[in-house]
Amino acid sequence: MAFQLAMNRPLRWLVRGCSIAAWVALWQLASMLHMNLGIATFRNVPPPTEVVQSAILLASSPKLLAHVTSSLWRVFAGYGVAAVIGIAIGFAIGRSRLAGDLLLPPLELLRPIPAVAWIPLSILIFPSSELSMIFITFIGALFPIILNTVHGVANIDRRLVASARSLGGRPAPILWGVILPGAAPSIVTGLAIGMGTSWFCLVTAEMISGQFGIGYYTWEAYTLQNYADIIVGMLVIGLLGMGSSWLLTALGQYLMPWRRAELAR
């Protein structure tokens, strides 16, 4: 612990960079030697040099923009609807016992169903594959957002609400001034988890029924045996997911200045 505190920021970034470089070097060596570890083999795994060449080709191709914009549109459309509905349902369940009795049983019944299992039904329900994929991303994000919102609202200190009421606070100001700020950290956590599951569900849906998107690009590379493109698609998915999570984290810190002070201690 003391050693970590003594390390300044540039040195820590240097260590992180060396860690990534070491893993890439091991990958290059294993691929070049067609290493066979018994339960796994690198015989067909392309080395990083081939992946970089494929990434450069994709970056210079107009296909990249088309695939990325298609995936981003589907993710943020489904995720946006899930965020609005999930937070509203979470607040209702967290604040009302009747709402909990009415909404929680069906949600708990539906929650364990994997997103992949929803794909055949979504194809039957929606007239286009585009809406089906948006619906899958919606399903993936909905339940984490609901559960974290319920958790955040239900754990609000009742003494704070009682104090606000004793001072003459009305329901709406108490909701905006006490309950929402108190539940905000848990809601942001649910939004971050929901974003990750949205990407997971989108890629799965695009692999099965998509005609454009990063998931479709990755699956198409596998069917055409362009193995380097598979890893390029995976890296693009990782970068998009990481960027989305960073965006949500930054937005959460901006909207919760009191949280920044707590984290800085």
Mean pLDDT of 69-86: 92
Name the residue among 115, 33, 117 with its Cα closest to residue 82.
115
Q: pLDDT averaged over the chain? A: 86
pLDDT tops 90 at residue 258: no
- Residue 262 pLDDT level (bands cut at 50, 70, 90): low
| 95-137 residue pLDDT tens | 888 998 999 899 989 989 988 888 888 888 888 888 888 999 9
| pTM of this structure | 0.80
The predicted pLDDT at position 92 comes to 92
Residue 38 Rama label (left phi>0; alpha psi -120 to 50; beta): left
The predicted pLDDT at position 183 comes to 87
**Most confident segment among 71-75, 81-85, 175-179:** 81-85
Least confident of 107-116, 226-235, 246-255: 246-255
The predicted pLDDT at position 182 comes to 85
- Residue 56 pLDDT level (bands cut at 50, 70, 90): very high
pLDDT tops 70 at residue 1: no
- Residue 264 pLDDT level (bands cut at 50, 70, 90): low
The predicted pLDDT at position 40 comes to 85
The predicted pLDDT at position 146 comes to 94
Least confident of 109-113, 146-150, 170-174: 170-174
pLDDT tops 60 at residue 3: no
